[in-house]
Structure 1
Amino acid sequence: MKQAILDWKQLYNWQLLPAMSMAFALAAILRALLDKPRHMPRARTWLLALWVPAAVGFGVTAVLRYHNDLLDEWYILFVLGVAAAVLWPVRHYRPAAIMLWALAVPALYRATSLGQQVLGYQFVAPLSNYFKSLGKLNLYWFGIITGLAFYQKKLLAKQQARREEEEKQRRQAAARNADLERLVAARTAALTQQSSELQGALTELRATQQQLIQREKMASLGELTAGIAHEIQNPLNFVNNFADVSAELVAELEAEQASPTPDVGLEDELLTDLRHNLHKINQHGQRAASIVRGMLAHSRQSTGERQPTDVNALADEYLRLAYHGLRAKDKTFNATLNTDFAALLPLVPAVPGDLGRVLLNLFTNAFYAVQKRQQAAGPGYVPTVQVRTCRAGEEVEIYVRDNGTGIPAAVQNKIFQPFFTTKPSGEGTGLGLSLAHDIIVQGHEGTLSVESQEGEFTEFVIRLPFR
């Protein structure tokens, strides 16, 4: 029985079985370590074929009844060589380089041991003991370095994952930036279009404003012209009447001189009357000429140059022109004009034409307000417009007050805004309080304020520096 067992053991090299197991384990380790195709382009076939030499050797020794204790050593050295050949081309891959070091010590130990057994040499006693101890440490060395290789692989995998995540974030950031750039471009185009539209609207608004200003000036000029026509009619009537009377006196004087017995006393009386009439004709002619000069001065384009101006004379002139201008439109309208001009009022540096337009606008508004209240109140109401001037420190003040309809409190803070008017459509706006305010504040460095109570009164105050 024992002989049969010995024959069975000698029939096969059973030492190849542990070596084959080690080969398959090493192949599994390498496949796990080099799991990417770029690390194992052709080595997968080699690793899978490691069992071929062991199987062939196992079968051949069984058939030939050949027994060799060194066959497993040769096979293990062959397996280590194949593993090193697989790892060497990819040594730039750090886990593969570390794995080469894991194989180096066992391969060196197996080669040295196999050489000793083949050649029959042995180390001296102390070195032989150290060499045997090294053989026992091979497995620990291989395990530790293999673990280090897998740890390095794990670190590289984390780094790769981190790089891929960073790349993904970079692509996402690039995509977001591209989207933002598209949005910015679209918004810029929209803003550019809006800016162009606003610029066009602003240009159109300025053109409209200039047209309105021109219309307001023309309306103011129309009102002024009506007042001038009505005002100039009086001196012209006086001139015509005195001229007719003077012609009759001349005829009587000629008849008396042709009489055989002329009356010297009557001739002197006729000459005296004729001289008086000529004086009156000259006086009213000068009045008409003054009105014409004022009309021409108003119609001229303002130069914008200031000159010493008599505020009292300017206010009185434009008050009467505004009054007669309204009467030219409505013959039934009458109003009481109260003036209180301060004596010895200093001359004010002003542009007479511009200041006159402001006064004309205020007077026209005042007469318009009292006319509207008269139409609503009935016969008991007396329309009154008051103009007062005075000196207050370094300023001259002009007060224009009426007892008309007044201005509602809700709109008092709007009356100096551009294009704002309380008049119904079609009744004209004159110069406009906005332009009047600009002329006083910006053109003359003064102030224009208002105080009003609805249904009672309205009072505008102009303050102009005279130094």
Structure 2
Amino acid sequence: MNRYTNADLLLAIGVVMLLVQLVRRLLDVPQRLPRWNRLLSWLWAPAAVTFAITAVLHYKNTHLDDAYLLVAVGAIVATLLRLRHYRPARTLLLGLAPVVLQRFISVCLQLGGYQLLPPLTTLFKIFGSLDAYWFFAMVFLARSQKKALIKQEQLREKEEQERQLIAAQNAELERLVAERTAALTQQAAELNTALDELRTTQGQLIQSEKMASLGELTAGIAHEIQNPLNFVNNFADVSAELVAELEEEQARPTRDAGLEDELLRDLKHNLFKINQHGQRAASIVRGMLEHSRASTGERRLTDLNALADEYLRLAYHGLRAKDKTFNATLQTDFAPVLPLVEAVAPDVGRVLLNLFNNAFYAVQKRQQLGEAGYAPTVRVQTRRVGDDVEVRVRDNGTGIPEAVRTKVFQPFFTTKPSGEGTGLGLSLSHDIITKGHGGTLSVESCEGEFTEFCITLPF
């Protein structure tokens, strides 16, 4: 028996271990298939033992290397099949397929003692020499695929990190929005409560303003109605005396016809005066009833001359009822032919009353300063300006400081001392004229000299 060392088997062990290292590194077998990785690590052991035995026994077998390669490559193929869902594994499997097929056919022919025809043998050898090129081409392709997959995985991880970051930011934003919403809801509730309280207070202040206005109006009406009632009483007393004289004259035996006629004329004149002043008193009472009656908002044709004159005198006598020492000059310049204005008379009357009260208040305060030669004067003028009717109320009182002139129509703003005004009179007047009647209410003033309010209403 010839001495023999199986060099082909050693070469086969080297090829298998290189292939194993290639598969393990390229496909990350230790992480993906730990058990199969341990199996691949020991593929060299059976071949080494076989080599040692054959070397000791000087046993020559030309098929050991091919058999070992088939078994080892089979184990590698099985590993690749386990990783078939991984694209580089499928590529390596495709690269090993021709090698395994060529080796399998070669072993089968050798075991069976068959030989291919010369043309086929040449072709088979050509394909066998190309197997290595094909395999290494597939290795490079698998390597490229792995790099692409790693990049995709990194991209997916980055996208996942970004998604998680966005999700965390969204969660934080939702938390902040929820906190802000809760805070805003609480603030809204507090504001609603404050608004309700403000509306209640405003209603009370408006009612106080109305009651104060009504008190001033009532005082003015009482003073104004006292004059016609005094005339009625006086003329009634005189008429009673005339009737008594007439009865005495008629009871005399000799009657004086001329005296009777004179007494009758005087009596008729007194009755006329009684009727005239009675109508005046009735007119004042009707005006008082209209003012005290809640406004229905119904617009009617209104004579602003008569309305302004009536409320001017009511405001003046209302102030004189409080201060008997107060006197002022009332100047009226009413347009003789003034168009009737479609308006809610009680509301416009309330505006005029407020302006007149302010005017008398201003001249009274200036009078109290004790200026030499000062004569309190309130002037009311009406005229037609284009398609509007204009009412001007001017006084020569204390005037309004320029710093606060723009605030006089603001709710609750007043130049009067605490307790003498609520600051709602001009605000309500402005709303009645501008919002209720589509007109304007403006003011001009010079501190220490005059104040003039101007009302314009369309007709």
| TM-score normalised per structure 2 | 0.89
- 1:50–1:265: structure 2 CA closer, same or farther, 3 Å change rule? closer
Whole-angstrom CA distance in 2 between matches of 1:71 and 1:107 = 16
Q: How does 1:388-403 map to 2 (within 5 A)?
A: 388-403=381-396
Which residue among 170, 176, 190 is the counterpart of 1:197?
190
Which residue among 190, 206, 212 is the counterpart of 1:213?
206
Tell me the matched-pair count. Answer: 459
Aligned to 2:332: 339
Aligned to 2:95: 102
- 1:51–1:351: structure 2 CA closer, same or farther, 3 Å change rule? closer
Aligned to 2:453: 460
Match of 2:451, SS? strand
Whole-angstrom CA distance in 1 between matches of 2:422 and 2:313 = 19
Aligned to 2:147: 154
**Identical-pair percentage:** 67
AA aligned opposite 1:78: V
Q: Which runs of 5+ in 2 are unaligned?
A: none
AA aligned opposite 1:306: R
| TM-score normalised per structure 1 | 0.87
* Kept in 2: contact 1:358–1:431 (CA 8 A): no
Tell which deviates more after alignment, 382-391 or 265-274. 265-274
Tell which deviates more after alignment, 196-205 or 223-232. 196-205
Aligned to 1:324: 317
Q: Which digits, 9 at most, give the CA deviation of each residue in 1:8-47, with x for residues without a partner?
A: xx25323322222222212212221332567425322321
* Kept in 2: contact 1:406–1:452 (CA 8 A): yes
Whole-angstrom CA distance in 1 between matches of 2:423 and 2:221 = 16
Deviation, structure 1 residue 253: 6.0
Please tell me whether residue 33 in structure 1 is matched to residue 31 in structure 2: no
Aligned to 1:3: none
Deviation, structure 1 residue 366: 0.7
Deviation, structure 1 residue 243: 4.1
Deviation, structure 1 residue 267: 6.2
Please tell me whether residue 383 in structure 1 is matched to residue 388 in structure 2: no
Which residue among 65, 69, 84 is the counterpart of 1:91?
84
Q: How does 1:4-19 map to 2 (within 5 A)?
A: 10=3, 12-19=5-12
Q: Which digits, 9 at most, give the CA deviation of each residue in 1:259-288, with x for residues without a partner?
A: 788877666666655554444444333332
AA aligned opposite 1:309: T
Whole-angstrom CA distance in 1 between matches of 2:421 and 2:451 = 20
- 1:103–1:240: structure 2 CA closer, same or farther, 3 Å change rule? same
- 1:421–1:119: structure 2 CA closer, same or farther, 3 Å change rule? same
Deviation, structure 1 residue 223: 0.7
Q: How does 1:266-277 map to 2 (within 5 A)?
A: 273-277=266-270
- 1:367–1:71: structure 2 CA closer, same or farther, 3 Å change rule? same
Q: Which digits, 9 at most, give the CA deviation of each residue in 1:283-315, with x for residues without a partner?
A: 333332322222222212222222222222221
Whole-angstrom CA distance in 2 between matches of 1:148 and 1:263 = 155
Whole-angstrom CA distance in 1 between matches of 2:225 and 2:25 = 120
Q: Which runs of 5+ in 1 are unaligned?
A: 1-5
Aligned to 1:182: 175
Tell which deviates more after alignment, 395-404 or 78-87. 78-87
AA aligned opposite 1:288: A
Whole-angstrom CA distance in 1 between matches of 2:297 and 2:343 = 9
Aligned to 1:446: 439
Name the Cα RMSD after superposition: 2.9
Aligned to 2:130: 137
Which residue among 63, 70, 86 is the counterpart of 2:56?
63
Q: Which digits, 9 at most, give the CA deviation of each residue in 1:86-111, with x for residues without a partner?
A: 22333232222222222222223333
